[in-house]
């Protein structure tokens, strides 16, 4: 399927049905279709040809998201650019992707003006919502020279940046087949009926946007939030009778602490997806109790989007209705169209229970990294896609992710997986969030170090926390150093930045308030 097929399938169920809604304004399926054709003709009139790369730089916005389908109708390749990135990173991504056209919101005009001189290949620059000195306005562009778009020249649908935290960012090439597999697995794995209503709070440049495609095949409505606001999030669920939504764990923790949650009417929810980072088993159980039996795990990565493994709401419970706590730390079971295995460093597949790198095969896996054959070969060693995650499969086929390979700590000759220690820490009632890293140590090689963020008004002693963790995972894994920070550094999508924590602690040891122990 092409990206336009998702929209057109929804429109075939009724062009007057609501498609994209934000701030009380709704675009119907017919209106989004019409706009996508106008964008496609404007792109063709601007010289954009099938296979050319077109970037969108925008906060969550219905018109910007409609342009995605115009890009696809023109046979071009969608390149989502995260507006939260720094200017240098976005310049690098636009250059790496070979973008010839950029569509952006006026709010990002200063950023665009800074990077345009270094991007001579950008022949067409369009401002969505206002005049900008370096761009043509959206309305002027749509009414300017137009041409009928040519048929697509290949299956490449989008290129997504991985971020530049470990060097130059890579561009993940996702095909129509990849996204079709992801959409099919979404519809197979979770509860759907009738026309769903999906609330998108997280950036549409990431998981929240890709989840729109399967919703559209059912003619569902997508309610878009322009900025994160948890009080408004709860209000919109009630107002629009939202059936499906997605939040990363960090925002779910904040939602559980929000005073409006207790009085919110969430009875319309059928599926509350969580993913993009490990979730505390203790917080998950709280969410099941306070939000409802609707929590739904998904595990994937940019290179194999969203649906490597899943855990539907019903799988969080035993047949008799009791919570299946032994699964709460898992990433669910591998999905039907994806093969998952555990591999050692020599390329041998390991039996259930043994820990190694999680590797996957199937039509969900990317076509490769754009203009980076070396990285593509490295990621596909031994004929499997290497996720970089360490985990194991249990005897029931549930996948457990114990750490990122790069985050494993070797202390006193023992391997300690930071995610396991973090799960134990998150069960402590005073801990709101945490990160566990290894720091150099003359005696142990690396010492297990915990940085914790406490709930407001809470205090805790190091010995208490250490004993709490030791009781759950043993003395080797219990943190030898515990520090309290008011907040933890996070990425644009809410993931804790362990590299930044480690760098900060190495360069400024003693500058951070520590819990003595």
pLDDT single digits (tens) 20-57: 999 999 999 999 999 999 999 999 999 999 999 999 99
Measured CA to CA, the distance from residue 313 to residue 294 in angstroms comes to: 5
Measured CA to CA, the distance from residue 448 to residue 4 in angstroms comes to: 49
29-43, 190-204, 247-261, 404-418: range with lowest mean pLDDT? 404-418
**Domain assignment present for 19:** no
**Domain assignment present for 461:** yes
Domain boundary among 142, 164, 186: 164
Residues 359 and 240 in one domain: yes
Measured CA to CA, the distance from residue 137 to residue 440 in angstroms comes to: 54
CATH number, residue 78:
3.40.50.980
Q: Interhelix angle for 418-426 vs 281-290, to 10°?
A: 40
Taking residues 144-154, report their average pLDDT: 88
CATH number, residue 484:
3.30.300.30
**Domain assignment present for 24:** no
Does the structure show a pLDDT above 50 at 71? yes
pLDDT for res 163: 57
Number of domains in the chain: 3
Measure Cα distances from 144 to 44, 45, 65, 129, 394 in Å.
11, 8, 21, 16, 60
**Domain assignment present for 14:** no
Model confidence pLDDT, tens digit, residues 80-122: 998 877 788 889 999 999 999 999 999 999 999 999 999 999 9
Domain boundary among 164, 184, 200: 164
CATH number, residue 303:
3.40.50.12780
Measured CA to CA, the distance from residue 395 to residue 316 in angstroms comes to: 17
Specify which of 58-67, 270-279, 499-508 reaches the highest per-range mean pLDDT.
Answer: 58-67
Residues 271 and 356 in one domain: yes
Residues 326 and 425 in one domain: no
Residues 372 and 232 in one domain: yes
134 in Cβ contact with 112 (< 8 Å) = yes
Model confidence pLDDT, tens digit, residues 289-312: 999 999 999 999 999 999 999 999
407-416, 418-427, 459-468, 506-515: range with lowest mean pLDDT? 506-515
Residues 352 and 456 in one domain: no
407 in Cβ contact with 389 (< 8 Å) = no
Residues 135 and 276 in one domain: no
pLDDT for res 87: 84
Give the DSSP H/E element, type plus range, for residue 385. Answer: strand 385-393
Model confidence pLDDT, tens digit, residues 484-514: 999 999 876 677 888 889 889 888 665 444 4
Contacts of 30 by beta carbon, 8 Å cutoff, 6+ apart: 11, 15, 16
Residues 394 and 477 in one domain: no
Q: Tell me the whole-structure pTM to 2 decimals.
A: 0.85
Residues 372 and 423 in one domain: no
Residues 395 and 252 in one domain: yes
The domain in which residue 501 lies consists of 408-507
Residues 424 and 342 in one domain: no
Residues 241 and 282 in one domain: yes
């Amino acid at each position: 399927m092409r990206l336009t097929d998702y929209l057109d399938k929804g429109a075939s169920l009724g062009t007057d049905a609501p498609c994209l809604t934000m701030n009380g304004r709704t675009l119907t399926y017919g209106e989004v279709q019409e706009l996508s054709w106008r964008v496609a003709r404007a792109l063709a009139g601007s010289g954009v040809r099938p296979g050319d790369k077109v970037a969108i730089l925008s906060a969550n916005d219905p018109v910007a998201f409609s342009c995605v389908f115009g890009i696809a109708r023109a046979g071009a390749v969608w390149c989502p650019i995260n507006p939260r990135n720094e200017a240098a990173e976005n310049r690098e991504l636009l250059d790496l992707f070979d973008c010839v056209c950029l569509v952006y919101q006026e709010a990002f005009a200063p950023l665009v003006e800074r990077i345009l001189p270094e991007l001579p290949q950008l022949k067409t620059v369009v401002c969505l919502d206002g005049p900008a000195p370096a761009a043509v306005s959206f309305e002027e562009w749509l009414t300017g020279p137009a041409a009928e778009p040519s048929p697509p020249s290949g299956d490449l649908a989008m290129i997504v940046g991985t971020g530049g935290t470990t060097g130059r960012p890579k561009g993940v090439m996702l095909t129509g087949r990849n996204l079709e597999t992801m959409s099919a697995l979404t519809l197979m794995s979770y509860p759907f009926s009738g026309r769903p209503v999906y609330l998108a709070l997280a950036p549409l440049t990431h998981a929240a946007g890709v989840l729109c495609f399967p919703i559209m095949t059912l003619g569902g409505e997508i309610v878009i939030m322009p900025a994160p606001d948890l009080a408004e999030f709860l209000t919109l669920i009630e107002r629009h009778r939202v059936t499906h939504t997605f939040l990363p764990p960090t925002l779910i923790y904040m939602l559980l602490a929000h005073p409006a949650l207790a009085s919110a009417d969430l009875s319309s929810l059928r599926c509350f997806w969580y993913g993009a980072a490990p979730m505390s088993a203790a917080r998950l159980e709280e969410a099941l109790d306070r939000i409802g039996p609707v929590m739904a795990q998904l595990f994937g990565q940019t290179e194999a989007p969203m649906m490597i493994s899943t855990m539907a709401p019903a799988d969080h419970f035993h047949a008799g209705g009791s919570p299946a706590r032994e699964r709460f730390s898992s990433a669910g079971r591998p999905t039907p169209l994806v093969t998952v295995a555990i591999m050692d460093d020599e390329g041998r597949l390991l039996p259930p229970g043994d820990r190694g790198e999680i590797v996957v095969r199937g039509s969900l896996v990317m076509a490769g990294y754009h203009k980076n054959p070396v990285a593509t070969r490295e990621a596909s060693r031994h004929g499997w896609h290497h996720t970089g995650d360490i985990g194991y499969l249990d005897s029931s086929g549930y996948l457990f992710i114990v750490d990122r390979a790069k985050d494993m700590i070797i202390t006193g000759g023992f391997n300690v997986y930071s995610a396991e220690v973090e799960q134990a820490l998150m069960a402590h009632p005073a801990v709101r969030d945490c990160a566990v890293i290894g720091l150099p140590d003359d005696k142990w090689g690396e010492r297990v170090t915990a940085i914790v963020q406490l709930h407001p008004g809470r205090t805790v002693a190091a010995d208490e926390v250490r004993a709490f963790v030791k009781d759950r995972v043993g003395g080797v894994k219990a943190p030898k150093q515990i520090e309290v920070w008011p907040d933890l550094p996070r990425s644009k999508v809410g993931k804790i930045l362990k590299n930044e924590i480690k760098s900060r602690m190495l360069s400024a040891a003693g500058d951070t308030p520590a819990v003595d122990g």
